[in-house]
A = this chain, B = another copy of it.
Amino acid sequence: MMQTLQVALGARAYPINIGSGLIQNADLILPYLKRKQVAVVTNSTVAPLYLEKLAKPLRDAGVSVIEIILPDGEAYKNSDTLNLIYDALLKNRCERSTTLIALGGGVIGDLTGYAAATYLRGVPFIQIPTTLLSQVDSSVGGKTGINHPLGKNMIGAFYQPKLVLADIDTLQTLPQRELSAGVAEVIKYGLIRDADFFDWLEINIDKLMALDEAVTMYAIYRSCQNKAEVVAADEHETGERALLNLGHTFGHAIENAMGYGVWLHGEAVAAGTMLAADLSRRMGWLSDAEIQRMHALLTAARLPMQAPNLGVDRYLSLMQSDKKVADGKIRLVLQQGIGKAVITSDYDANKLRETLEAIV
């Protein structure tokens, strides 16, 4: 079973194929290769599960497959690991017609996409995201990059893949925490711009958590569709695209303070989303009943909602160093009801302090 979503970005349109049994289907990949050489970048967790499944049918079709296996974890999303990819590409004399394939979660996608954007000033790139989070987030938007000791995602490029394969079979081996982190991102699309999808999620959350095939495919499809609509209108993140950062400014502060990788990105975003909701409620933009619905859905998704108590000043300082700051002022994505988010610096700073003080 497979559905295809076409992401329209001018000359750089590409399809996202969503379904089961996609990884081992070389016919989906072959038409996108400029020559029969690919370099598959993956990590030590994903490689034993899926690398051979992908590589064998390609080799059988006459494709030369270079395997680049990186250590697993957000801690490795840095320039040293990036250099491991460059070194392997250069040692194998990969050329501009060599296609890079990212096989893994968000870290692998970001690293591989950035390597593809910058190796020989750009080579083709295919994404095979193996986590729910990366299927609904990294599949659309073209964000690639690495972390810097002074901040997350500080170095990067906008670079679009030629093709995305979101194979839901890979979710079967995903730890529950990571599945929940992905669902947090799915819920986000409902919260910021798609109230109907939020309603649908309230009904289907248990099936989604159980990875029911049709429900999972629809959740991924509709998430990518929402993201694609936002991104198409704003490819380089100057305006509406910032809506996608609901919970992220709080969330990045949490990730940064706790050390990258201690909280999963989606977990931090979930807790951050509840902080943003709390501030929205204090501003009178969100009702207690709506907060209750959000709370119930995130609970069903087994997400942590209790942000760590870092202290108000620490939060504010960390939020200020987030790159979504325009001219020194913290802009936040806040909610004006379920299905409607706004980007604003026009909130009461005292109420932001109250929200942060209310964390226990």
Contacts and interface: CB of A to CB of B under 8 A. Distances in A.
27 contacts: A35-B327, A79-B79, A86-B155, A87-B150, A90-B148, A90-B150, A90-B154, A91-B150, A95-B323, A95-B326, A96-B323, A97-B326, A97-B327, A117-B157, A118-B145, A118-B155, A118-B157, A120-B154, A120-B156, A120-B323, A121-B144, A121-B153, A121-B156, A121-B236, A121-B237, A122-B157, A122-B158
Interface residues of A, number: 36
A286 to B, nearest CB: 29
A14 interface: no
A158 B95 CA distance: 16
A120 to B, nearest CB: 6
A95 B325 contact: yes
A148 B236 CA distance: 29
Contacts of A76: none
A236 B237 CA distance: 24
A193 interface: no
A260 interface: no
Contacts of A236: 121-122
Nearest to A114: B118
Interface in A103-140: 117-122
Interface string A35-54: 10000000000000000000
Nearest to A327: B35
B95 A327 contact: yes
A321 interface: yes
Contacts of A227: none
A143 interface: yes
B158 A121 contact: yes
A151 interface: yes
A157 B90 contact: no
A83 interface: yes
Contacts of A157: 117-118, 121-122, 157
A151 B121 contact: no
A325 B87 CA distance: 18
Contacts of A35: 327
A154 B86 contact: yes
A154 B94 CA distance: 11
Interface in A163-215: none
A118 B159 CA distance: 11
Nearest to A87: B150
A83 B90 contact: no
A122 B83 CA distance: 20
Task: Rank and list the top 3 A-B pairs by shortest CB-CB distance, nearest first.
Answer: A90-B150, A121-B156, A118-B155
Given A121-B153, A121-B236, 9 more contacts: A86-B155, A90-B148, A90-B154, A93-B321, A95-B323, A97-B326, A118-B145, A118-B157, A122-B236
